[in-house]
Structure 1
């Protein structure tokens, strides 16, 4: 395999591959608002207010801009109770004919253990610093592990292999938008103050798993004590006190903000929207590949980022709507 480099352990980026072909524009495709349609997926009303955003706990990553802790105010909004599912995304595709960036590029990043032996024989590229990410031809939201895979039994799972641009297009069609990072963290905390996780400070209270992350020795052995090797259904594990499912683990979720490590200096104290520009978009929540030993970013204050055209087998999204 030809090795590539990446700047993130959490999800591979297209900016570090040798693929340079330009994408076709979706501008001639039918991207419509569905304000006149039924809402796709249940949403909950988040009353907004002030909260303590960020963390300085010893397990945090200061270089990611998790701190300092600051008092932030957000306006009321509606938030999807769970990540957008394959079923909902298929409705969008069927209605608009939209072609995702993974489909246009012809490939996406797949975790190596999920690739079949037959597809593995055809893989020629991996990421050097995170060798578990393979460039798989034909991988997309329709074929998550490559051309010999499909969505059978996974229509209620979060859609994956969607770029920020894809997620943004879906939101416009659904009459919604991607959450700001501040809205995402406010909602994920569920009213709890400065807790490590959406449910408290213990990862497995009373020995019960609360999210879909990696157990065992990453990346060699996942003991699947939480029941899953890859994605879990979008509605899995107990919700937080706001009724939101899987805001920790399962899939990374795109936010609207450009990523900056000095985010506390940008956007003010009310409804901050992040940097004015940048090269990568914020992702929140961690994924099923997160493990304490290498990517302890399933904590509610943790942050990561990726380029807007990147797609992997552990990135999804959920939407918000102004109240």
Structure 2
């Protein structure tokens, strides 16, 4: 199973009209980035840990030159975008968004929205500037990744900033940081509840997080060491939207059904895992790991970073 939040569907959207925003494609809010030369690369792994996710087979790809932000888009940067454009996120339009129960002051309420994943709660009024709902704030988290943003929100920001969402192939190539075929952005060393490389869960998910890494939720985008290419947070902290539609590359009956569902619900690929991942439950902080979420969805552990054409 995935630590991703329950998905939204278009039928859940509020009928309240929201004014459209004219974005400015030529305006760029600068952020540090790393340039990658054109290269022959690959996507996926020959040793899938979660076969149903479509981690394998390995696919060879040819990449054009591109650049990638050194870290996820921060609350500060997203706030500048909203201030400049008046953009209204999809979570605001829906009027609610999934929040990880462990981040709430009162973890006993409200009741679980889904008995299969009781750690997710649909909180009215939760959105990027109040990630845990009314009364919460990002004031002390301006250097944390923005969360509670949908795929459309991420693309709107990208248009304004002069970038785009990376492809899955670009994301994996960058995450390897010059290493030949590592399991993680730092190499093959396996993180555990005492050996810390990134912001993931320590302890028994979802009942106890020992917080050996120092964080219950998100952390500053540069809290942990970068990979060999100088990129921060390519494992853990927040899932990152890509520009790709989710698809499992197999001719099996199960894969065909999964792909049909992904197409019908407009699921997109997310990479990198999040602060909720743990090897016992959601072993998806590996480079080849992936997850899917409907484009309208947002959550406490979902953000993004930008790519740029060079």
> Structure 2 length normalisation: TM-score?
0.90
Structure 2 vs 1, CA of residues 167 and 55 (structure 1 numbering), >3 Å: closer, same or farther?
same
Separation in structure 2 between the aligned mates of residue 286 and residue 299 of structure 1, nearest angstrom: 8
SS in structure 2 opposite 1:165? helix
SS in structure 2 opposite 1:94? helix
Q: Structure 2 unaligned runs (5+)?
A: 252-261
Separation in structure 2 between the aligned mates of residue 263 and residue 175 of structure 1, nearest angstrom: 35
Separation in structure 1 between the aligned mates of residue 163 and residue 222 of structure 2, nearest angstrom: 20
Instruction: Judge conservation of contact 1:250–1:288 (CA < 8 Å) in 2.
Output: yes
User: Does residue 200 in structure 1 map to residue 187 in structure 2?
Assistant: yes
SS in structure 2 opposite 1:253? strand
Q: 2:46 aligns with which of 38, 42, 56?
A: 56
| CA apart distance, 1:32 | 1.2
Separation in structure 1 between the aligned mates of residue 133 and residue 298 of structure 2, nearest angstrom: 13
Instruction: Judge conservation of contact 1:203–1:209 (CA < 8 Å) in 2.
Output: no
User: Does residue 187 in structure 1 map to residue 174 in structure 2?
Assistant: yes
RMSD: 2.3
Q: Structure 1 unaligned runs (5+)?
A: 1-6, 265-274
Structure 2 vs 1, CA of residues 277 and 182 (structure 1 numbering), >3 Å: closer, same or farther?
farther
Structure 2 vs 1, CA of residues 23 and 85 (structure 1 numbering), >3 Å: closer, same or farther?
farther
CA-to-aligned-CA distance 1:152-173 (integer Å, 9 cap, x gap):
2100000000000000000000
| CA apart distance, 1:263 | 7.8
Correspondences of 1:211-250 after superposition (within 5 Å)? 211-250=198-237
SS in structure 2 opposite 1:182? helix
Correspondences of 1:58-207 after superposition (within 5 Å)? 60-117=49-106, 121=109, 123=110, 126-204=113-191
| CA apart distance, 1:48 | 3.2
Structure 2 vs 1, CA of residues 277 and 173 (structure 1 numbering), >3 Å: closer, same or farther?
farther
Separation in structure 1 between the aligned mates of residue 201 and residue 46 of structure 2, nearest angstrom: 24
Separation in structure 1 between the aligned mates of residue 237 and residue 263 of structure 2, nearest angstrom: 29
| CA apart distance, 1:51 | 2.1
Separation in structure 2 between the aligned mates of residue 308 and residue 81 of structure 1, nearest angstrom: 24
Instruction: Judge conservation of contact 2:202–2:212 (CA < 8 Å) in 1.
Output: yes
Alignment size in residue pairs: 299
